[in-house]
Structure 1
Amino acid sequence: MMIRFDTTAGAIAIATGLMASSAFAQTAPTRPSDPQVAAQQPDPETSDDEAIVVTGTNIAGTAPVGTQAVTLKRDTILNTGNTSLADVLRDLPQVTNLGIYREGATQGGYNATQANGINLRGLGIGGTLTLVDGHRLPSTGTVSTITEANQIPIAMIERVEVILDGSSAVYGSDAVGGVVNYVTRKNLRGVEAAGRLTLVDGYKEYGGSVTAGQTWNDLGGLGAGNIIVSYDYTWRDPMFASSRARLSQNLTQFGGIDNRITGGARNGGVGLQSGSFATPGAPGNIIVPSGGTYIYYGIPQGNGTGLTFANLSTTPNLLDTADYTTYMGSMRRHQAVVLINQELSPSIEFYFEGLYTNRHTRSEQFQSNGPDVCVAATSPYYIAGIPGTAGQTCSTGPSPTDTRVPGITMQYNFQNAIGSWGTDNPDENYTLISGIRAKLPGGWRAEASFTYGADNTCGICRYDNNSSFGAFQHQVNLGNINPFSTAPLTAAQRESFVGTVLQFSHNRFKDVVVKMNGSLFDLPGGAVKAAFGGEYTHTSYDLESGGNISPGEQGDYATPSRDNEFVWSNFASGRRSVVAAFAELYVPLISEQNAMPLIRSLVFNGAVRYDHYSDFGSTTNPKLGMTWEIFDGFTARGSWGTSFRAPALTDNDPYVGSFKFLTSFPTNVTGVNCFSPAPGLCLSNTLILFGAQPGLKPEKSKSWSLGFDFAPRFLPGLKVSTTYYNIRYSNRLQAPPWQEAFGSNASFALYSQYAKAINNTGCVQGNPSTYDPALLPYLSAVGLYTLYMPVAGRECQVQAVADGRTTNIGTTNQEGLDFATNYGFDSSIGTWNVGGSLTIVLKENAQYVAGAPVVDRLDTLGYPVSVRGRGSIGWTDGSLGANLYVNHVGPYKNTTPLNNTVSTHVAPWTTVDAGISYSFGENSWAGLKGTRISLNAQNLFNRDPPLVLTNGYASYDPQQANILGRIVTIQLAKSF
């Protein structure tokens, strides 16, 4: 059976009718638990409510006031069948894949280290704060950094608390879209062992965990305590892109284009686009310009000597990169957790948490053909007589702007010569948290904690398989390599242009927090409570990049050259200190003791936090909240506050990775400072800058929400919640859209801060006093790498500047509605739990600079979709349980369609997950007692994602769907 929903109404119906379900842990509970529970009350399983601090507040024994919160309990997490916390959270409708920070080499962005990130509301990975038991964690990454979502194994999770609201007034930076807090298990006596196997077409994953705990009532006279130790191991096979036809380059069977060859010819014909690209099979193809397009001639197999035009084929040699590229690389992960709690006296408790993750991914990638290879007319391998090559020149260096000589151009198959690029991404991350909690007179409590964390990772680790295209060209120039030969290269030939390239980063994190909370005085509605404290944080990173390529690479920007010896060529480092002070007040004006008509209870909360950063200054962020129970079971709530996200240290440091180069690429329709190589074509010699830059300021947000919760006593087990939210996110860190400036005179004026005309009249090369003064700041800006032509020595040729460096630019406005409903009840055939969770984004627009048009981005490719929902129904009867989940993503527009036609419709995507489990109870045979076995399937009906065809290589949108198909997981767990 396949269920389809093509409208918002359909999504609302399913989400309202189904969700949040069921579950049971090692032994089946009497009722399936609600997988999304509004965290408005302390956990009832803990006896000392006054000691509990839930996510979103620093005041023990209270819940966040006015704020929407979601709790995923342990049994719910187990029932999903997901094997990582990142995947558990991605099931929430409020979490998107925008930015695609997840393991998988080809899954996008700057995620070179294969980290996993959580993106609440689609506001960006950096706008979601991830915590463990309320504590911050070290960042991971090289050029860009995030907090790894898979910090601890599921075996150690008690629950996950998610605050869907800005919370910088409580936590400081990053809590713009919300907060994700992993709450660990605190009490376990005995041993639990579990194994799991995940089967997917194209790969498999397996793993297991062992968790042991012990408690005691006295330890040398100190008092009660406990320890929990857990170890988890995961292995995943590589998944090659060729396992999915939709990931191939040739998409003609789906109505797309054959990306193996674009801008060129098929069978000797003339292509439709200006620009040359083909994916060459062995040994490669000759390229001949023809009236702004290109003709390709296939080179025959053999030793490549004595070739004539008659030996060439009018059919180009092609291959599909999917056969050589992993969509998800292999992954091995070790994780260990140690938790210790010990009473030092009746009023003082010590705790320690140690988290350790060692993850290693390896990805394979098609060995890029890089720049075209020039075979000079003086080369012994030159092929004479090819039509259209008379007078043709080609570049003898790695850049098309290098020295040009008479010759022919070819595309060489590096894949055949040296194999795939193999990229290793080792990552080691550990966090040590220690602290003391103390009971003070008057019911007050104090806590002091110290966290030390470190992350060491490699973003680009290519050991002895990284090609230098400049070095290869140099060997062709010397006649040492015949590019037309399919014979295996000798070791000496290979070593002449292949080396190692590495980019390591070391992130360090130290955090000290001291805070107190307790009651100030009593009102008729209850005790007024307060919390206050301070925090000191020190973060640092060190990055080092290097490599080895033998002499003659001729300035290839990608790797250093030093006589085939490994050389660390680039070092970057940064340090930051943050001092913060915070306070919070909880005021219960009305409760059951002094209730009145239409006001059964009324609670206010106010919080404020001041943060001073050593690099950019101070920011103060307040938050106000209100919860008002109007009548029995019906509660209104609201919140308002500001939040911020500090720029990462790497955002501020151009020495991490920056580019500065001169090119005539941008087409300039303004007619300002341009030259015309052909009628109707106007190009500017443009100095372009990319990368980080110093002096960035924090991103800022203002958010408010209004919601209602209805849990009537006349229908126990039912709860319905609705929340409206509004977020204005400004000063966002991103690259300016400088390309827009060259589109019209109006745009050139609008984006004048990022695109400038340069008047170099009277310029004398080598004399900066004669350069246009507007050019000078950009000449002094850091640019580590050059893509096309270095500007040094060519300053007088510059006609325009395009500044694409990250900066504070633009504003995003988002508003929407969250719906959640859950109903649990008993029946004669078991216990049921049905419900739904739905997010409807009402507005998502952006303005890049003041005065620019406001762009409506909702329901467009690359941005939030207006409708996302998840529903479920769960059932248990004794030890047997079953769950059914329905996931829905609404329709949207493909705004960059194939051949740049009008926007096309992307169909909605609805998938079904299902699971069944059995727990052997106390009356089972002794060998099975305490055993739980489960079988889960995500995307049960193996439904393909909607077709999304662009001029690129994809046939689907990985930000809104996945291509994995049916995922089956078998898990077996036993308690001892």
Structure 2
Amino acid sequence: MAGGLYWGGAAQAQAQTSSGQPDPQEQGVPVDSGTEQDAGDSRDIVVTGTLLRGVAPVGTNVVSVNRADVLATGAASANDLLASVPQVGNFGTVPVGTGSYALPIIRPNIRNLGASGGSTTLVLMNGHRLVGAGVLQTSVDPSVIPPDAIERVEIIPDGGSSIYGSDAIGGVINFITRKRYDGFGANARYGIANQYRAFDGSVIAGKDWGSGSVFLSYAYAWHDNILGIDRDYVTADNRGGGGNDNRGTACSPANLIIGGIPYALPGRVPGSLNRCDQTDYADIVPRETRHSVFGGFTQEVNDRFSLALTGYWSQRDTITRSAQSSQSETITALNPYFTRVGTEVSQTVALSFAPVFGPSNISPAKFTSWGLTPTAEFELGGGWQIRALGNYGRSTNETTEDSINSAAVTAAFGGTTTATALNPYNLSATAPGVLSKINDFVNYGQADQKIAEGRMIIDGPLFALGGGDVRLAAGAEYHYEDIRSFTGSGPVAAITGGRAFAKRNVKSLFGEVLIPIFGESNRTGGLYALELSGSLRYDDYSDVGGTTNPKIGLTWRPVRSLTLRGNYGTSFHAPSLADLGNSVDSRVQVIPFSPYRAANSSPFDILRPTIAIAGGNANLKPETADTWSLGFDFKPEAAPGLVLSATYFNVRFEDAIAVPPFTSPVLFSDPNYSSFYILNPTLAQAQAAAGSLRIDGVPSLAALYAFSAPYVLFLATRANLGAVHTDGIDFNLAYARETGFGALSASFSGTYTLGRKTQTIKGGAFSDDLKNGTGRLAFVANLGGRYGDLSGRVSLNHRSGFPLAGVLPQTRVSSFDTVDVFLSYDLSDLLKGAALTLNVDNLFDQDPPYLNNAPGYTNGGTLGRLVSFGIRTKF
């Protein structure tokens, strides 16, 4: 078989050991050479979820995505790959990093537990951390890891703080990269969808000389943008589905408001109103270009000592289009362009600047990061080993959000000459100098982040029991991170804002013990194998104090074919440096209109401003969780290749760091959120909430109220708001078998939520998310096979629908189902090591489900029907 071929497995369809690790040999399942496995290493390896070499984590379910799955999904980025895993929150969506300094990256989120500046899911590469990305975030950007560098991904959907420390509340995602490569390989792929193009490719070269290896790879990926107007399901006007018209009224042509009565230009008929859809010229998928370099070196110096070094560099350039800026202002008879409808002496004009500045704001962003990780292993004898790791990484993050100068707009409305005044009835007739001042305005964010770590672990056997060696691992770690950030706004040559610097160091001690009570030498009836493990970690933070987290696990195999497992542990997530009180985004943000309103709001309320009090909180506490799970793996000897697994999980997540969901209609329908907003706030209330914070968007709050009373004030600072209690079942049914003509495989894997309740404020009532906004079931069903030189797979991806409250008349959101197809044809007879590939994502071009709100859809995402042609080769 040629490199790149696939015999039809699924992302969770591999045979599993008692704790979830891949064990294809035991099942008699062929491992296709097309998976491009690197040359093996005789030394024991450390797997995800344990400090011990060569053993799987006891009592834990591990979801594994192998090299073949990377190829079959057609993933152009690591984020795309994770979107194929049902346990990860962005499953069934198109992962989109907007490039804004508020939300620049896609954060993987197992169980959808939190949305703070850090993450409740820990993302690792080869077992170590990566530097964070963003201006208001310190989360890892998985897209820095090119898919062609990935050997496999191991996902542990259980708490992992006893091994890894902070962030591993929902679980751990560990990208395991190639270790060795010999030869030269190249691949390229081109994809086409409606109003969309994409290309990705990579080259890799390396040399393996047995005792060591060196390789270097380069990957390039580019994709076009998709505007809302390019997809008919993206709309703010939901009247066709029986919903509301959520289109804006600050449009082109403009609307006049005189005595509370609208007059649409140009006709100026009383009661007439121009509406405009702000989703039309805003991206649902921004344009993006990525460059990635990845390399590795390994060398066995002698029988006892070995060295390794991995490094990467990545750059992502994003261009995001948003709806052109609009504003509502008062014009009086002092303005030379003022035109009366009747006898009035002033008018309120709601307008968009699209006629003079184009239909979209165009906002570029650049994110660059790099890291180096040297490691050393020293064999002490007697099965004991010392492993040492150093890890250093840096990122530079820069975003520019195109906007307008609201103060200049206000001044131009009040202009008294044609050289200084704005003509709101015909913007193009305004003096160029006036328009230039209005258009010369950006929101700018920049941050540099750094991480430095050192870790040492010793592990080996203590003594022998009947079931095998009792093994111990112990270690210490030092972690340092910092972020220097700036956010501001203003004319490009005179941006003003605030700077912040935050740092922390963490000193950690940890250990793990494995006790094999029954095993190969003493197994008996009902006790084919029995293992017990315990792990403990203490972390001392320079800013938030110390925390200790334990975990215990049990694996029991009553017979060879059945494994029962369970674990219990505590986990935590320390507040990120972007969440604490010196957060660079602490400010009062004024938006000139109100896109987020209560269901009974007047349609004219959209013309009124919104005030948001944003920023960090120095009094944040770590988020914590108690997690436990029970499960089984059944691999009947009478049916080789069949795997049946299920795991019950239970998570009690407390002190969640978040901001209220002020972009969601749920905010106004759920009384638990009532303390986080003030409708029709007075000036005194706004000034009391703002305190001494800087004000962005207007010269002062008093000046804001002089023109238009705000509709709402959001209290949007981060806080330990409440809790998430959730439980459910992860499942996997898979079958793979060689046949006389090739191979067949099938799988059904996913997650089913039994319960999910969220608490807005600690001590407050819990809301049942399954009754409002959360679906129960997510799964992938695969059918694959191989016949001669042709291999393929068909996948059905399902996200279930859910009830909906507060978005009347809609009471339910539908499920979202897409079908993907992968084909590969071996060209080895013509060109050694070559294969052609075809991916068709969303074969039937399904639209995501309808939602009676802008942008008109939810519960999934799609590029449409995307057809991608590729070629892979290796020499």
| TM-score normalised per structure 2 | 0.88
Which residue does 1:10 correspond to in 2?
none
Identify the match of residue 250 of structure 1 among 228, 231, 237.
237
Give how far 1:496 is off.
2.1
* Equivalent AA in structure 1 for residue 468 of structure 2: G
Identify the match of residue 223 of structure 2 among 236, 254, 277.
236
Larger radius of gyration: 1
Partners in 1 of 2:872 and 2:496 — Cα distance? 48
1:542 aligns with 2:484: yes
CA RMSD of aligned residues (A): 3.6
Identify the match of residue 800 of structure 2 among 871, 887, 890.
890
SS of the residue 2:619 aligns to? coil
Identify the match of residue 723 of structure 2 among 774, 792, 811.
811
Q: Deviations over 1:55-111 (max 9, x none)?
A: 0001001101000101111012211222222112111111123998932549xxx77
Identify the match of residue 769 of structure 2 among 857, 880, 897.
857
SS of the residue 1:417 aligns to? helix
CA contact (8 A) 2:94 2:863 kept: no
SS of the residue 1:648 aligns to? coil
Give how far 1:830 is off.
2.4
The count of aligned residue pairs is 830
Which residue does 1:409 correspond to in 2?
348
CA contact (8 A) 1:98 1:119 kept: no
CA contact (8 A) 1:701 1:728 kept: yes
SS of the residue 2:142 aligns to? coil
1:286 aligns with 2:256: yes
Cα distance change, pair 945–461 in 1 and its aligned pair in 2 (3 A): closer
Which residue does 2:520 correspond to in 1?
592
Which residue does 1:460 correspond to in 2?
400
1:943 aligns with 2:846: yes
Cα distance change, pair 781–623 in 1 and its aligned pair in 2 (3 A): farther
Cα distance change, pair 113–659 in 1 and its aligned pair in 2 (3 A): closer
Which residue does 2:324 correspond to in 1?
367
CA contact (8 A) 1:32 1:833 kept: yes
Q: Deviations over 1:634-662 (max 9, x none)?
A: 11000000001111111003541123489
Cα distance change, pair 447–457 in 1 and its aligned pair in 2 (3 A): same
SS of the residue 2:527 aligns to? coil
Give how far 1:812 is off.
0.8
Q: Deviations over 1:908-962 (max 9, x none)?
A: 22221111111233xx13xx121011111111111222222x2x312210xx211
Give how far 1:777 is off.
9.6
* Equivalent AA in structure 1 for residue 840 of structure 2: A
1:720 aligns with 2:644: yes
Which residue does 2:744 correspond to in 1?
832
Which residue does 2:624 correspond to in 1?
700
Which residue does 1:198 correspond to in 2?
191
Give how far 1:313 is off.
8.5
Cα distance change, pair 491–341 in 1 and its aligned pair in 2 (3 A): farther
Q: Deviations over 1:482-540 (max 9, x none)?
A: 22224365542232222243211111111111111111111111011111111111111
SS of the residue 1:447 aligns to? strand
Cα distance change, pair 344–568 in 1 and its aligned pair in 2 (3 A): farther
1:434 aligns with 2:427: no
1:583 aligns with 2:511: yes
Give how far 1:587 is off.
0.7
Identify the match of residue 729 of structure 1 among 626, 645, 653.
653
Q: Deviations over 1:775-818 (max 9, x none)?
A: 99967664554779638999xx9xx9985421112111000011
* Equivalent AA in structure 2 for residue 825 of structure 1: R
Which residue does 1:147 correspond to in 2?
140
Which residue does 1:296 correspond to in 2?
263
Partners in 2 of 1:25 and 1:118 — Cα distance? 32
1:876 aligns with 2:775: no
1:914 aligns with 2:791: no
* Equivalent AA in structure 2 for residue 433 of structure 1: T
* Equivalent AA in structure 2 for residue 471 of structure 1: A
Which residue does 2:301 correspond to in 1?
344
CA contact (8 A) 1:616 1:695 kept: no
Give how far 1:378 is off.
2.4
Identify the match of residue 531 of structure 2 among 592, 603, 606.
603
CA contact (8 A) 2:92 2:799 kept: no
Which residue does 2:412 correspond to in 1?
475
Which residue does 2:357 correspond to in 1?
418
* Equivalent AA in structure 2 for residue 432 of structure 1: L
SS of the residue 1:198 aligns to? strand
SS of the residue 1:594 aligns to? coil
Q: Could you list the runs of 5+ residues in structure 2 that have no partner in the other structure? A: 26-36, 595-609
Q: Which moved more, 1:515-524 or 1:343-352?
A: 343-352
Partners in 2 of 1:245 and 1:743 — Cα distance? 28
Which residue does 2:182 correspond to in 1?
189
Partners in 2 of 1:326 and 1:613 — Cα distance? 40
Q: Deviations over 1:104-141 (max 9, x none)?
A: 549xxx77453222111111361111111111001111
* Equivalent AA in structure 2 for residue 953 of structure 1: A
Which residue does 1:331 correspond to in 2?
288
Identify the match of residue 52 of structure 1 among 40, 45, 54.
45
* Equivalent AA in structure 2 for residue 246 of structure 1: Y
Partners in 2 of 1:806 and 1:99 — Cα distance? 28
Q: Which moved more, 1:138-147 or 1:491-500?
A: 491-500
- 1:550-699 equivalence runs, <5 A: 565-660=493-588, 689-699=613-623
Cα distance change, pair 743–917 in 1 and its aligned pair in 2 (3 A): closer
Partners in 2 of 1:70 and 1:631 — Cα distance? 23
Give how far 1:847 is off.
2.0
Which residue does 2:438 correspond to in 1?
497
CA contact (8 A) 1:655 1:784 kept: no
Partners in 1 of 2:413 and 2:704 — Cα distance? 27
Partners in 2 of 1:35 and 1:751 — Cα distance? 42
Partners in 2 of 1:688 and 1:336 — Cα distance? 40
Q: Deviations over 1:725-784 (max 9, x none)?
A: 1000001112368999x999x989x988x7999xx9xxxx9xxxxx99xx9996766455
1:114 aligns with 2:104: yes
Which residue does 2:857 correspond to in 1?
956
CA contact (8 A) 1:662 1:789 kept: no
Q: Deviations over 1:135-181 (max 9, x none)?
A: 10011111233211222111111111111110010001111111111
| TM-score normalised per structure 1 | 0.79
CA contact (8 A) 2:501 2:582 kept: no
1:931 aligns with 2:834: yes
Which residue does 1:12 correspond to in 2?
none
SS of the residue 1:226 aligns to? strand
CA contact (8 A) 1:28 1:878 kept: no
Partners in 1 of 2:702 and 2:726 — Cα distance? 41
Give how far 1:859 is off.
5.2
1:376 aligns with 2:332: yes
SS of the residue 2:144 aligns to? coil
Cα distance change, pair 736–359 in 1 and its aligned pair in 2 (3 A): closer
Percent identity over the alignment is: 30
Give how far 1:688 is off.
7.3
